Amino acid sequence: MSGKVSMNTSTIGTSTKRAERWQLAGALKLVLPLFLTTAGVISLFAFMAQMGLEADGQPPTNLPPDLQNWKISAAAVDQSWGTSKTLSQAERADDLTILRRLHLALVGTVPSLEEIRAFEAMESQDRIAQWTNHLLMDPRVGDYLAQRLGKVFVGIEEGQFIVFRRDRFNQWLSREILDNRPYDKIVQQMISEKGLWTGRPAGNFITAAVTGEEVDENKLAGRSARAFLGQRMDCAQCHDHFFAQWKQHDFEGLAAFFAPVRISAVGLEDQKDFQYQVDDSKAEDGKRKVDLRVPFGEEWLPAHGTERHKLAQWITHEENRRFDRAIVNRMWGLMFGKPLVEPVDDLPDPPVERQSDPLDVLADEFRTHGRSLHWLIQVIVQTQAFQQESRHPSAENGEKFDVASENWVMYPLTRLRPEQIIGNMLQAWSLQTIDQNSHVFVRLFRLFRERDFLKEYGDTGEEELALFTGTIPQALLRMNGEFSRQLSEATPLSAAGRLANLSNDREELVTGVFLACLTRRPTAEELQLIEAMCQTHPVSNATLAEDLYWTLFNSPEFSWNH
């Protein structure tokens, strides 16, 4: 009986609790949407209220203490071209042009109108260096450089489910870059990391090469040579290299350093006393033993440590000039859209006479300055090559253009990468800087828009610095795509709409659009042209802003780095 009563009580109690839960759920259903809507509206108004034409960001005021050292190193690079240049240098570009290059290289987008205003408020003649210093503390720079360098370090393949986490790897790399950790330390950690790749994300360099359930030591050997030494040794996996000095046993010897690594319950670990073997039909039992071997600089190998530790030390050894030349050339490529020496992963041997070419000069400077990527970027920015015009008075025709281009007497013209194109469009859509502090609505908008655009536009993938031309589908997408339409539409949230509403006159409106899209003011001729067009076909400010946005989005100036 008591059991029954107890059971009834329990049932009643359960029913009561269930009823209360339903009531609570009902109340939540009513209140939650109301709350979310109100919060959304309030935050949207707050967001719109921020979107004025004036600069909110505070410009950096202090001159970087290392400025003179950067200038000295940059001058050494400038002089290293020696007398090889048959043409004079182009003139120095204006600061806004340099600012645009800087942002495209480090952030992947043009600067926002807000940033342009803040930059222009700086009075120092070294404001480019100041602004670069300011940017190098911006998480956007860490994320963007990690994204680009990440493709070099772990490729673009999706990788094995669970064992490869690109997101963790990029987050780790982004932090390392922002913290200005010496580049050799970053590489050493990637090569020799142990443990789980989620908690120790550098290990994803290894797990990106997992095929089936095994770590592919050949893939790692080839990638290490290309990414860290700027050498293509992949074909030596099967046969001696046809042109270069690499032999098959060089490649196998390198792969032997990665052979002991395996994935266990504790993550990445190195098997002790492991003997690497390869298939060989000529061997008695079809297998041949392979010992650790490096293709040059044997004396740089440390005596102790795991195989991967030894390789990491050898690759990053201070006498290994290929290591410094490879990253310097690649960073130069990211800053200019074109490396000093092409292709980036198949560099010639370092010159016998040290510092006899600009790459070697910069590589030596890089090494003696602690292999700091921040230092390297600052020095490149200070070079004449980075700050000069992208046109040359005597390079109008093809032959002379090639000479000027090969001699770096003008900044190279290169097409922007797909993520830079959509990055530019998205940033130009907003008057304010789109970064981690942006409203969640804006960040989500950017995330989805960027993903969808790249799906349609196509990505150049691992070919980070390859030559590529525009395609017809890309031109159609830019002219007629939903992205262009949405991002150029004059709405209360968009830059086109805000500029149309807030500008005092037509010139201010046109100037705002040019600054937001092209990081420059319109010329007098351009203003006249637009004024004449408005006289012939009178349109509202909103229509004019939309038409100008569309026009500039489709202009060659918008989609080229210059």
Partner 1 sequence: MSDSLINCCWNRRELLQLLTTGVVAFSASQLSARAAEDRGPQRGKSLITLWLAGGPSQLETWDPHPGTRIGGPIKAIDTSIQGTQICEWYPQTAEILNSFCVIRSIVSKEGDHERGTYVVRTGYRPEPTVVHPSLGSIVYHELPQGSLEIPGHVSLGDGQFATRGGYLGEESTAFRVFDPGRNLTNLEAPVDHERHQRRLETLGQLSQGFLNGRRYPIASSLHQKTIDSALKMMTSEQLKAFSISDEPAAVLAAYGNHSFGRGCLVARRLIETGVRAVDVTLNGFDTHANNFGLSQGRAEILDPALATLVTDLKSRDLWDSTVVLVCGEFGRTPQINPLDGRDHWPHGFSILLGGGGLASGRVIGATDPEGVKSPENPVEIPQIMASILQVLGIDFQKEIFTPIGRPIRLTSGQPLAALFKA
Spatial contact of 545 and 499, defined as CB atoms under 8 Å apart: yes
Give least dist CB 78 to partner 1, A: 18
Give least dist CB 29 to partner 1, A: 36
Q: Which is nearer to partner 1, 55 or 206 (CB)?
A: 206
Q: Which is nearer to partner 1, 395 or 515 (CB)?
A: 395
- The amino acid at residue 58 is Q
Q: Which is nearer to partner 1, 134 or 322 (CB)?
A: 322
Q: Could you say which residues in the range 516-535 bind partner 1, by CB under 8 A?
A: 523, 525-526, 529-530, 533
Q: Could you say which residues in the range 402-421 bind partner 1, by CB under 8 A?
A: 402, 405-406, 413, 415
Q: Which is nearer to partner 1, 89 or 174 (CB)?
A: 89
φ, ψ dihedrals at 201, nearest 5°: -65, -20
Q: Could you say which residues in the range 432-471 bind partner 1, by CB under 8 A?
A: 456, 458, 460-463, 466-471
Spatial contact of 51 and 431, defined as CB atoms under 8 Å apart: yes
Distance of alpha carbon 381 from alpha carbon 359, whole angstroms: 15
Task: Work out whether 343 is an interface residue with partner 1 (CB under 8 A).
Answer: yes
Give least dist CB 199 to partner 1, A: 26
Spatial contact of 98 and 386, defined as CB atoms under 8 Å apart: yes
Task: Work out whether 91 is an interface residue with partner 1 (CB under 8 A).
Answer: no
Q: Could you say which residues in the range 40-69 bind partner 1, by CB under 8 A?
A: none
Give least dist CB 146 to partner 1, A: 20
Length of the chain: 562
Max CA distance (Å), the chain: 108
Give least dist CB 476 to partner 1, A: 4
CA neighbours closer than 13 Å in the CB half-sphere of residue 516: 34
Give least dist CB 228 to partner 1, A: 14
Give least dist CB 557 to partner 1, A: 4
Distance of alpha carbon 248 from alpha carbon 129, whole angstroms: 47
Task: Work out whether 100 is an interface residue with partner 1 (CB under 8 A).
Answer: no
DSSP β-bridge partners for residue 276? 290
Spatial contact of 474 and 458, defined as CB atoms under 8 Å apart: yes
DSSP β-bridge partners for residue 519? none
Q: Which is nearer to partner 1, 43 or 356 (CB)?
A: 356
Give least dist CB 562 to partner 1, A: 7
Among 66, 78, 342, 507, binds partner 1 (CB under 8 A): 342
Among residues 220, 223, 205, 222, the alpha carbon closest in space to that of 169 is found at 205
Cβ burial, residue 223 (10 Å; 0-12/13-18/19+): buried
Q: What is the CA 544 to chain-centroid distance, rounded?
A: 34
Among 3, 199, 212, 538, binds partner 1 (CB under 8 A): 212
Cβ burial, residue 310 (10 Å; 0-12/13-18/19+): buried
Q: Could you say which residues in the range 467-506 bind partner 1, by CB under 8 A?
A: 467-477, 479-482, 484-485
Give least dist CB 345 to partner 1, A: 7
Among 40, 348, 370, 492, binds partner 1 (CB under 8 A): 348
Among 347, 465, 493, 495, binds partner 1 (CB under 8 A): 347
Give least dist CB 541 to partner 1, A: 15
Q: Could you say which residues in the range 111-140 bind partner 1, by CB under 8 A?
A: none
Among 100, 103, 151, 392, binds partner 1 (CB under 8 A): 392
Distance of alpha carbon 284 from alpha carbon 449, whole angstroms: 59
Q: Could you say which residues in the range 357-386 bind partner 1, by CB under 8 A?
A: none
Give least dist CB 520 to partner 1, A: 10
Task: Work out whether 560 is an interface residue with partner 1 (CB under 8 A).
Answer: yes
Burial 347-364 (b: 16+ CB within 10 A, else e): beebeeeeeebbbbbbbb
H/E element, 458: none
Spatial contact of 340 and 334, defined as CB atoms under 8 Å apart: no
CA neighbours closer than 13 Å in the CB half-sphere of residue 347: 27
Residue with tokens 């034409």: 53
Share of the chain residues as helix, strand and coil, in percent rounded to the nearest 5: 60, 5, 35
Among 372, 390, 438, 491, binds partner 1 (CB under 8 A): 390
Spatial contact of 146 and 174, defined as CB atoms under 8 Å apart: yes
- The amino acid at residue 192 is S
Give least dist CB 474 to partner 1, A: 8
- The amino acid at residue 399 is E
Task: Work out whether 401 is an interface residue with partner 1 (CB under 8 A).
Answer: yes
Q: Could you say which residues in the range 223-282 bind partner 1, by CB under 8 A?
A: 223, 226, 232, 234, 242-243
Give least dist CB 403 to partner 1, A: 10
Contacts of 363 (CB under 8 A, 6+ apart): 321, 324, 325, 328
Spatial contact of 135 and 102, defined as CB atoms under 8 Å apart: yes
Q: Cα separations (Å) of 483 from 154, 433, 470?
A: 30, 19, 17
Q: Which is nearer to partner 1, 114 or 234 (CB)?
A: 234
Interface with partner 1 by CB under 8 A: which range of 48-56, 215-223, 250-258, 426-434? 215-223
Interface with partner 1 by CB under 8 A: which range of 36-44, 124-132, 217-225, 420-428? 217-225
DSSP β-bridge partners for residue 560? 415
Q: Which is nearer to partner 1, 21 or 92 (CB)?
A: 92
Q: Which is nearer to partner 1, 63 or 235 (CB)?
A: 235
- The amino acid at residue 29 is K
Q: Could you say which residues in the range 540-559 bind partner 1, by CB under 8 A?
A: 547-548, 550-552, 554-557
DSSP β-bridge partners for residue 211? 214
Give least dist CB 526 to partner 1, A: 6
**Per-residue x/- track, 302-341, partner 1 (CB under 8 A):** ---------------------------------------x
Q: Could you say which residues in the range 149-168 bind partner 1, by CB under 8 A?
A: 155, 157-158
